[in-house]
Amino acid sequence: MERAVDAPASAYPAEWERHETLRDGRRVFIRPFKPEDVALYPQFLSGVTDEDLRLRFFAPIRRFSDEFIRKLAAVDYRDVMVFVAFDENTAEPLGVVRLHRDPDGKGGEYAVLLRSALKGCGLGWLLMRQMIAYARSLGLETIHGQVLPENATMLSMCSELGFHIAGDPQEHGLKVVTLPLKVPSRAA
């Protein structure tokens, strides 16, 4: 029997909910995405500039089809996880990070997007650290993503988080960022 696209395969992981404070003092609630959150995507995307959307999706996109938004919001809490950050006072969605486990089960691809006005407040760091911790809990060996070379903010954050940065051999003009998650065992 096939499950509905919008229904997660695993139970909601409430243990991944957390409250944090941004550099500007704003309180945020970070939690796993729920299927009903899909209705919040248009509101969230309206707070992202055209340039930030281009840096995330590698193309000048402003209109998103319902099907595209549904795919962005699809989670199963095992192979696909999305964390969303909400303003604790207004309940507005402020940022999302997505992790999609690779078919071989050893790695995962991530993507992160914030409301443009929140750059520099530390939200990207919080979401990335949450996603990295989640990937480690799954036993993934690496996480990786693609970044446009002009996205200096993301490349800098990845570098500071320990990601290796290299040119993408398959996609000219893109950078591949890779973070090893498992510490190699030392020979006795």
What is the pLDDT tens value at each position of the chain, 188 positions in all? 333 345 566 799 999 999 999 999 999 999 999 988 988 888 888 888 888 887 787 677 777 778 888 887 789 999 999 999 999 999 999 999 999 999 999 999 999 999 988 888 999 999 999 999 999 999 999 999 999 899 999 999 999 999 999 998 887 788 999 999 976 555 54
Model pLDDT for residues 150-160, shown as the tens digit of each residue = 999 999 999 99
Model pLDDT for residues 58-87, shown as the tens digit of each residue = 677 777 778 888 887 789 999 999 999 999
Give the span between the Cα atoms of 121 and 126, in whole angstroms: 10
Q: What is the pLDDT of residue 1?
A: 32
Distances (CA, A) of 2 to 8, 79, 178: 12, 16, 34
Tell me the two tokens of residue 119. 């750059």
| Domain boundary assignment for the chain | 14-140
CATH of region 14-140, choose from 3.40.640.10, 3.40.630.30, 3.30.70.980, 3.40.50.300: 3.40.630.30
Taking a C-beta distance cutoff of 8 angstroms, is the pair 75, 96 a contact?
no
Question: Which residues touch 4 (CB under 8 Å, ≥6 apart)?
Answer: none
54: how many CB neighbours lie within 10 A of its CB? 16
Tell me the two tokens of residue 47. 């707070």
Q: What is the pLDDT of residue 185?
A: 56
Q: Which helix (H) or strand (E) holds 127?
A: helix 123-137
Give the span between the Cα atoms of 47 and 99, in whole angstroms: 22
